[in-house]
Structure 1
C-alpha cells in the first residue's frame, strides 16, 4: 500500500506513456515528486530525452522507469496514452497497484469511460485530467512544449474527498504547472471535445499546424462543426454556448499555433488516430439520436479513409 503522502517527503507518481504529453508532464512534475515512467518492460532502468521549452531552450533530462516494486508504492498513476489504449492499460496495471492508488486518465475525445466497464474495473479512485497544453515529439527522444494551457481534474469513479484531492493538487503545483479541481468534469469534457472536433481532423486532413486554422477560409467549417457538437451535447443533457465555445476554440488555436495536433502527427506517421473518439463520437451519438451531423461525419470518414490507405 502506498505510504501516506504526509509521512513521505514526496509522492510517488507513475506516468504510463512516454509520448509527447507523458514526457511534458514528467518535466513539469519531477521536481515535486518521485516520478517514473511505465514502459512495456518491467525493468528499472534510466532513459534520457531532450526537452525544449516554449522559448526554444533545450535541457537534457533523464527519467527512471517504473518496475513492479515502484508500481506498488504509487500514490498516483497518470495514464497518458491514446484513447483506444486506455481500457487495456487500466486492465494491465490493476493488479500491480494498491487499491487506494489514484488513477488519472488523460486522453483525447470521449467514449473511453464506457469502455472501462466501471462495474468490473478496479476499485481505485479514478479521475480525468483535461489539458489545453500542447507538446510534440521532434524525435523519438526529443519533446518540445508548444502551447500553454490549463489542467483540470475531476472525478470519474470511487473518488476521494474533495479536500484531499485539492490538497494533493496544491502539492503538485509549481510555477511551471498548476491544476484546477472541477466536480462537473463531464461538462468540461464536452468543451474539450468541441475543441478537438474543430482542430484535430482539419489539421490532419490539410497537413497544417493548429495556428493555420485561424485563417478566414476555415471560419465557416469550424462554426458548422461546433454547432453540430453543441446540438448533440444538448441531446445528451449538456448545455454549451456557441459564442463561448467558438471563442475558446479561437484561443486554443492561437495559444497552440505552432503545435502539430496529435491526429496530424498520427496521419503523418501512418499510425491509428483517435478520430473514432472525437468526430466519430459525435457521428455515432447523432445516429443514436436520429440526427445527421454532416460535417463531423465527413471529417470522421476522411480521416478513416486516410488510415485505411496507409501504404
Structure 2
C-alpha cells in the first residue's frame, strides 16, 4: 500500500521505518525542506523517503498523521488539495479534540483514530530508537472508517500488536487519563516519569484521577478510580526512566499538547458543570510556563 506519514517525529519515524521494511511505499510530509529524508532505526539499514511530494500524497492509500495535536488541523488543511477523497486518514497522537475539525475539512474520507503504547526516541533527525514494544489500537471515527478494519492486518504485519477497537473513544479516554496524570506534573517539575512514584505526588495523582474519572463518566464512557489509578501507577513504573513528551516540550521551550490533554478534560468538565480544580491548576501552570518564552 501507499502511505504518507505526516509528521515524522519519533512515533512517525518508527512507523515509517517498519512500514517500509514490510514492503509498503512510504513518503513523508514534514517541516523539513529536503526532497528526501533518511531514517535509520536502531541497528537496521537506513531507509530513504520522499519528502513533501504532492504526487505521493495524491497516490496515498493511507495518510498516517503523527503530528502533535495542536498543528493537526493546520497541516491537514494545507495538504487538503492533495489528499484523495478515498484515502484513509489515521490520527495517531496524544490528546483528544482534533477529529471533529478533520471531519469538517475532509468529510468524504474514512477517518480512523489510533493510540499506541510503543516507545520511540529520536536522538537526531535521521535516527529513531524503538525503546519499548507496545500495542496499537485502531477504531473508526466516522461511518466510512468502519469499513477499514482490514487495515489492522496491514499494520500488524509491519509493527505488532495492532487490534481493532469498536469503541475507540473509550480507549482514547483511558490513554488521556494516563497522560493527564503523568505529563503535566513531569513537565512542571522537569522530572522523569518514575519520580511520580514519590510520596509528595500521591495526593495530586489521586485528585487528578478522581476528576478525570468524573468527566469520563459524564461523557458516557466507563472509568473507575481504583482501576485507573492502578494502571497509571503501573505506567509510571514501566516508564520510570522516560521523560514524557510534555516534559521534553517544556525542556526545549516548544509548545506542548496541554490544550488537547488536560485542557480537553477541563473543557469537557465545564460542559458538564464538573469542578476539576487540580487539573485546572496544572493546565494554568503549564500555560504560564509557555507564556514566559
TM-score (normalised: structure 2): 0.91
What is the count of residue pairs matched by the alignment? 291
Q: Counterparts in 2 of 1:246-285, with a 5 A limit? A: 246-285=229-268
Q: Counterparts in 2 of 1:187-202, with a 5 A limit? A: 187-202=170-185
Q: State the distance in 2 between where 1:283 and 1:145 align.
A: 33
Picking from 201, 222, 226, the partner of 2:205 is: 222
Q: 1:195 to 1:89 in 2, by over 3 A?
A: same
Picking from 14, 26, 34, the partner of 1:35 is: 26
- Contact 1:205-1:264 within 8 A present in 2 as well: yes
Picking from 91, 101, 104, the partner of 2:90 is: 104
Residues 52-102 of structure 1 deviation map (CA, whole Å, 9 limit, x = unaligned): 3xxxxx445223124122212211110011111111222222221221110
Give 1:191 deviation, angstroms: 0.5
Does 1:90 find its partner at 2:76?
yes
Q: CA RMSD in A?
A: 2.1
Question: Greater helix percent: which structure?
Answer: 2
Which deviates more from structure 2 when the two are superposed, residues 123-132 or residues 277-286? Answer: 277-286
- Contact 2:66-2:93 within 8 A present in 1 as well: yes
Q: State the distance in 2 between where 1:12 and 1:258 align.
A: 36
Q: 1:240 to 1:213 in 2, by over 3 A?
A: same
Q: 1:108 to 1:245 in 2, by over 3 A?
A: same
Q: 1:130 to 1:299 in 2, by over 3 A?
A: same
The answer for the alignment partner of 1:286 in structure 2 is 269
TM-score (normalised: structure 1): 0.86
Does 1:14 find its partner at 2:4?
yes
Q: 1:176 to 1:237 in 2, by over 3 A?
A: closer
Q: Counterparts in 2 of 1:235-250, with a 5 A limit? A: 235-250=218-233
Unaligned runs of 5+ in 2: none
Q: State the distance in 1 between where 2:173 and 2:141 align.
A: 14
Please give the secondary structure, in 2, of the residue aligned with 1:144: strand
Give 1:150 deviation, angstroms: 1.2
Residues 200-226 of structure 1 deviation map (CA, whole Å, 9 limit, x = unaligned): 111111111222223333233212101
Please give the secondary structure, in 2, of the residue aligned with 1:124: coil
Give 1:175 deviation, angstroms: 7.3
- Contact 1:72-1:96 within 8 A present in 2 as well: yes
- Contact 2:156-2:162 within 8 A present in 1 as well: yes
Please give the secondary structure, in 1, of the residue aligned with 2:90: strand
Q: 1:80 to 1:120 in 2, by over 3 A?
A: closer
Unaligned runs of 5+ in 1: 1-10, 53-57
Give 1:245 deviation, angstroms: 1.3
Residues 169-188 of structure 1 deviation map (CA, whole Å, 9 limit, x = unaligned): 21332374221101201111
Q: State the distance in 1 between where 2:263 and 2:40 align.
A: 35
- Contact 1:126-1:157 within 8 A present in 2 as well: yes
Please give the secondary structure, in 2, of the residue aligned with 1:100: coil
